[in-house]
Each structure stands twice: as C-alpha cells, then as structure tokens.
Amino acid sequence: MNKEQRYWHPLVGGFFLGTLLFVSFIVAGQGLGASGAFARVSAQLAYLYDATFAANGYAGAYLKHGNALANWTVVEVVGVFLGGFISAAMAGRIKQSIERGENYSASKRLFWAFFGGFLIGPATRLARGCTSGQALDGAASFSVGAWIFMIAAFGAGFLLAPFFKKQWS
C-alpha cells in the first residue's frame, strides 16, 4: 500500500464531514469548532488555581453553569484528538518526527509553528470562532461574516503559498 492509499478521498471525507455537521446541529444544537473548547479548558484550569477567577467578566461566563469541561465543544475536541490518533495508528502513520523542508531546521519549524499558534489563539476569540467553526458552521448558516473570512483566508493562502513552498523545497 503506497502512502496516498492510506487516506480517504477528499470528496468522501467532505461528505462525512458535512453529514457530521448536520447531525451535530440536530443533536447538540450547535455545529463544529475548536476554539471554544480551549477557552473553556483555560477557564476551568484558572478556576482550579484560583476560585475568584469565576468573577472575571469574560472567562467567568464559561463557569456559570458549573464545570466548563462538561460542554459539547470540549467533548468534540477530545474526540477529534482520539479519532485522529486511532486513524493514524490504524494507517501506520504514527512516528516521532518534525515535518519540515530539507533546508528548514527543526528549531525554526517549531518556532514558527508555536508563533503561529500563539497568534491564532487570541485571533479566534476576537473573530468569535476558529477557521473550522467559521468555515463549517458559518458557511452552513449562510453567515456573511464567515463567507468574507473564508474568502480572505483562502485568498491569503493562495497568495502566500508560493513563498512557503520555496521554504519547504
């Protein structure tokens, strides 16, 4: 089995993702997204450290119904990690390595990965959702803001792809 045969065809994956999105709206009353889970976990950890954190106007809202971890979004993200791990294990793709270009050092790759993650975290809170939430939930509900965001994100990706492709060759 070659490497390409270990993955689902994108159209099959898209079909199942769309079906899952539809089912999540019906069962959970909300769509798919990840950024809310990280905000909830952060709020719960801060509360465990200092109970007065519940009085914080922003993060305290996650704690007003009790344990912030008892939420659909948190369960979803745990399932994504577990499902991804199981899928990778079944396909024999688990290995300890850092994906990078030949001329790109591991430390440089890790720096830019963590820097990008550091920037995107607060950005998802300001945008009221992560890219998956914006693209899936927003597009499915015909949110004009989500469509504008996705056009801008994909447009920027297409414009910057040649620069990054050179970095990886």
Long-range Cβ contacts of 94-103 (<8 Å, 24+ apart): 100/168, 101/167, 101/168, 101/169, 102/169, 103/167, 103/169
For the segment 23-37, the average pLDDT, to the nearest whole number, is 85
Q: In this model, does residue 1 exceed pLDDT 60?
A: no
- Which of 44, 32, 35, 48 minimizes the C-alpha distance to 69? 44
Condensed to tens digits (0 to 9), the pLDDT of residues 100-140 reads 888 788 998 899 899 988 888 788 877 777 877 888 888 88
Contact 32, 69 (CB under 8 A): no
The distance of Cα 7 from the centroid of its chain, to the nearest Å, equals 20
- Which of 78, 56, 82, 57 minimizes the C-alpha distance to 69? 78
Whether the pTM exceeds 0.75: the reply is: no
* 45-49, 107-111, 155-159: range with lowest mean pLDDT: 45-49
For the segment 20-48, the average pLDDT, to the nearest whole number, is 86
Mean pLDDT over all residues of the chain? 84
Q: How far apart are CA 67 and CA 40, in angstroms?
A: 9
Encoded tokens for 41: 């976990």
Q: In this model, does residue 3 exceed pLDDT 60?
A: no
The distance of Cα 126 from the centroid of its chain, to the nearest Å, equals 15
Give CA angle at 116 (111, 120), nearest 5°.
150
Condensed to tens digits (0 to 9), the pLDDT of residues 60-101 reads 888 887 788 888 888 888 999 999 899 888 888 888 888 888
Encoded tokens for 148: 């504008």
Q: Name the pLDDT band for 155 (thresholds 50, 70, 90).
A: very high
Encoded tokens for 78: 């745990």
